[in-house]
Structure 1
């Protein structure tokens, strides 16, 4: 269905996991163009590992879309030896926020922009939460047991080596601090205005049920956000990270996994939901089975 069917109001679109550090993914980003001058696009993390690549992609999109809204994934927060920007942890995140602001891109540190939908305004809330290892591996009851199980299985997220939590003592401590601040802002939001919450990591654990490696779930979110889609007036929840693009519903709320993923994945499964997902206005099409994915980088 074209945007013209909605009276040329434009659409709220979303994408994630562009991974433009991979040469075969750059043409995909270069191909992304709006159907309307009024289209907005959410970029839900994992644009790239190097700051210069993040800037390239967001600058390109900011020059094409009426509004770009970004929230980081784990890959933007990696400090790799190949990146001239060697900032770590919160300083790296804050550097990316300032970069986005210089491009006119909205971030989790800015006011929630109001998308002027045909049925009234909708606030787009990019949130940065990380994870706290509470989505534990099967049969484990503590973070330590869950991590040990993952190491035994050889399924360990690269975050353990490249995503530094400075100045926090751990990634889970940083996550808890982010949850407190984000929850405060969501609670202060006018409940009469619906929200589209955009996060790299899903708010709930249920999407991890289809992971090939269930122990990877501990790097995929936090139980602390499990009721947010019920507590707040959420029209839709946008996320990525899992590289399993699909639409699911939990407690009557629509969850959209909008990732592009790695070349080996999209060559195998194609782009079953398209390169860009229309979040609003919602086109209630038929949702097929979850596509097969190798999952995010470990």
Structure 2
């Protein structure tokens, strides 16, 4: 039997209706399959564990890369940083039966690309500093700005190797290129461009020879082929976003 590969992101199980959606997934249909989760489940570790455990009982392998919401420190001790939160997220993922590590399925490499935005898509405006929640909900070590955060995470991807792989599937939470945002998106929403991703993600996935890249963050479901790579976003999204998110699992490949 073929192994199917499914993709999903931005599940936001802080919303009860979204967690119920997870719980309502079949416990029998995906036993031989792989699920890629491209970040933004919840900033609450207990809920993260519950959500991942639900997926782990349904899929043969659950692969996860954190998003920005996952490292928020809202309501936590004032000395606690989002780097410490990331470490706790990583430990919670492994305890819950999922993985943040590269995975090989025969000759196919699944490579998680840790990332953050580094303003390579544009410099943030004063308005963006005021409205973007990460600037209030994340807390980094003193002197550590978004560009330092991006470098910290993306430098860790340099250890990845595609040697011996006939096919590479990469995944990140953040966007690897700004042209993944459709042209119809209004100028009002383009205010967010600087915090959507990094061109360095694109460099890294190309270096690995990726043929499929799964991303999240934008809540705009899309599948597009660009220069030999298929880029896929399949967000569950917030309740009420059905216009731009399909709110269903998406099979992106069969092995």
TM-score for the superposition, normalised by structure 2 = 0.89
Please state if 1:179 is matched with 2:159.
Answer: no
* 3-state SS of paired residue (2:35): strand
Q: Which has the higher contact order (CA 8 A, sep 6+)?
A: 2
Cα distance between partner residues in 1 of 2:79 and 2:97: 24
Work out the number of aligned pairs and report it: 251
Structure 1 unpaired stretches of 5+: 1-7, 137-142, 283-298
Report what 1:123 is aligned to: 109
Cα-to-partner distance string for 1:153-199 (whole Å, 9 max, x where unaligned): x6x320010112236611220111222221x223x331643211111
Q: Which has the larger radius of gyration?
A: 1
1:169 equivalenced with 2:155 (yes/no): no
Q: Does 1:114 align with 2:107?
A: no
- 1:1-298 alignment, distance < 5 Å: 8-33=1-26, 35-81=29-75, 87-107=80-100, 110=101, 112-116=102-106, 121-136=107-122, 143=123, 146-148=124-126, 150-151=128-129, 156-166=131-141, 169-182=144-157, 184-186=158-160, 188-190=161-163, 192-210=165-183, 211-212=185-186, 213-266=189-242, 268-269=243-244, 271=246, 275-281=248-254
Q: Residues 167 and 197 from structure 1, CA distance in 2 versus in 1: closer, same or farther, beyond 3 angstroms?
A: farther
**C-alpha separation between the residues in 2 aligned to 1:85 and 1:260?**
31
**Is the Cα–Cα contact under 8 Å of residues 229 and 253 in structure 1 kept in the other structure?**
no
Q: In the aligned structure 2, how far is the partner of 1:76 from the partner of 1:85?
A: 17
Cα deviation, residue 253, structure 1: 0.7
SS of 1:42's equivalent? strand
Output the CA distance in 2 between the equivalents of 1:233 and 1:190: 10
Looking at structure 2, the residues matched to 149 and 9 of structure 1 have their Cα atoms a distance apart, in angstroms, of 49
Whole-angstrom CA distance in 2 between matches of 1:167 and 1:103: 32
CA RMSD of aligned residues (A): 2.3
Q: 5+ unaligned residues in a row in structure 2: which ranges?
A: none
TM-score by length of 1: 0.77
- Is the Cα–Cα contact under 8 Å of residues 191 and 232 in structure 1 kept in the other structure? no
